[in-house]
Amino acid sequence: MLEELGYGTDGAPDGGTALEMFEKKHYDLVVTDFRMPDMDGIELISRLRAQRPQLPVILISGFVDVLGLDEQTTGANTVIMKSANEVQHLIRSAGRLLKLPRKPVASERALPASRRKAANHS
């Protein structure tokens, strides 16, 4: 979904591979699951933060409520529960953490350019 919105993405099958990739390439944002082979998302976040403390991180998990996962307990900037709404939460969180300008909604795109400016600044 993020690629469809114009974000460049890479994927890793486990935390160890993610760390190797992180050492070789600059990333503006990391999205991780909590459950992964060889280390959990909290350990990955901790190790990433040791290298780049200001790195924005989103943690996604189906165990948010069960394990009490939140921003304070995980070190993530945002924790998202796997659900029917996770894609919308992910898109919104990625845009906020990367501080990207908001795309106009369909009703604003239909407005003339002069009115669109006013709609975006209200």
The three-state secondary structure class of 36 is: coil
User: Which two tokens mark 18?
Assistant: 């993610």
Residue 58 inside a domain? The answer is yes
**Does residue 119 register a pLDDT over 50?**
no
pLDDT(31) > 70: yes
On whether residue 10 sits in a domain, the answer given is no
Residue 42 · residue 67 · CB < 8 Å: no
pLDDT value of residue 114: 46
- Over pLDDT 90: what percentage of the chain? 66
User: In Å, what is the CA distance from 47 to each residue of 15, 30, 64, 98, 108?
Assistant: 10, 12, 21, 21, 42
How many separate domains does the chain show? 1
Inside any domain, residue 5 = no
Instruction: Assess if residue 116 is contained within a domain.
Output: yes
Q: Is residue 6 part of a domain?
A: no
Distance CA 27, CA 14 (A): 17
**pLDDT score of 93:** 94
On the question of pLDDT at 117 being above 60, the answer is no
Q: In this predicted structure, what is the pLDDT of residue 100?
A: 59
CA distance 51 to 23: 9
User: Six-digit token pair at 60?
Assistant: 């996604």
Per-residue pLDDT reduced to its tens digit, 51-94: 999 999 999 999 898 898 999 999 999 999 999 999 999 999 99
Q: Distance between CA atoms of 89 and 98, rounded to whole angstroms?
A: 14
Structural domain of residue 109, as residue ranges? 15-121
Question: Phi and psi for 34 in degrees, rounded to 5?
Answer: -80, -50
- Would 1 be classed as within a structural domain? no
Find the mean pLDDT for residues 35-48.
94
CATH number at residue 50: 3.40.50.2300
In a domain, 7, yes or no: no
Helix or strand (DSSP H, E) at 114: helix 113-121
Tokens of 105: 């909604």
Residue 88 included in any domain? yes
